[in-house]
A and B are shown apart, each in its own frame.
Chain A
Amino acid sequence: MDFTAEALEQHRSYLYRFALIHLRDPELSADAVQETMLAAIAGRSDFAGRSSPRSWLTGILKHKIADILREAARLPIAESDLAQGDKAGDLESVFDAKGRWDDTMPGDWGAPETALEQKQFWEVFERCCRSIPPQTAQVFMLREVMGDSIEEICKNLGITATNCSVMLYRARVRLRQCLEAQWFNKE
């Protein structure tokens, strides 16, 4: 297994995004990734092809993230997203009392794929992601960007499968609504 700096470099953006989800700070995230790269080069003899390079690197990064979080005495996740600020009442504005679409019925987005090529779309996308409560967004990103399974997310964040699917549902509903209002309805 080749562990030149060049070979590691192709995983950098994935690792950075992973770190950003947990640390929510670009500078801290870049530091964590840098330390991970250095640790990987120093410890490359430990690797021995037991897993894919990416999951090995992610394993190192997780320890770095945990160190940083502990050091900053920052709680990686709070129960706040479920307890407050993101109550069931939140979706009341989307559905009426009978559970039908209120005045927010999803419209026709035409061929949305073309948006993926546009830089402005991604700015709107990231803005919409930031409008979701932090832990809800974190679960969503782990699931959709990192491709983690529900089991992995529950284990790593210490939440139940039900909480997890509720948060994913809310994130999707909100993100959809935000994109429709901020992008697809604007064209």
Chain B
Amino acid sequence: MVSCREATRLMSDALDRPVTLRERMGLRLHLAFCRGCRNFEKHMAFLRRACRSLVERDADKNERRRS
């Protein structure tokens, strides 16, 4: 069984590279039993959305400033 430390590392890696089937299975099993890591997974998805929206946000601001 992978630890929370390993599970979070895998969740981070999965945002940057394809994970192997074995890694995914290990992670899914861990997540089934760990609420903290399930929350972590949601938080990672949110972080990515937040960062992507940073550039758009600045673009909107410039748009408003010019109009």
Contact = CB atoms under 8 A, between A and B. Distances in A.
Interface residues of A, number: 40
Interface of B: 3-6, 8-9, 12-13, 15-17, 35-37, 39-40, 42-44, 46-55, 57-59, 61-62, 66
Contacts of B15: 168, 172
Interface in A102-128: 105-109, 112-113, 115-116, 122, 125
Contacts of B46: 109, 112-113
Interface string A28-72: 000000000000000000000000000000000000000000000
B17 to A, nearest CB: 7
B55 A13 contact: yes
Contacts of A113: 46, 49
B62 A107 contact: no
A169 B13 contact: yes
A105 B39 CA distance: 9
From A98, A107, A109, A144, name the one whose CB has the most chain B CB atoms within 10 angstroms.
A144
Given A91-B5, A106-B36, A176-B44, A116 B62 contact: no
B16 A165 contact: yes
A83 to B, nearest CB: 20
A109 B39 contact: yes
Interface string A1-43: 0000000011011101100000000000000000000000000
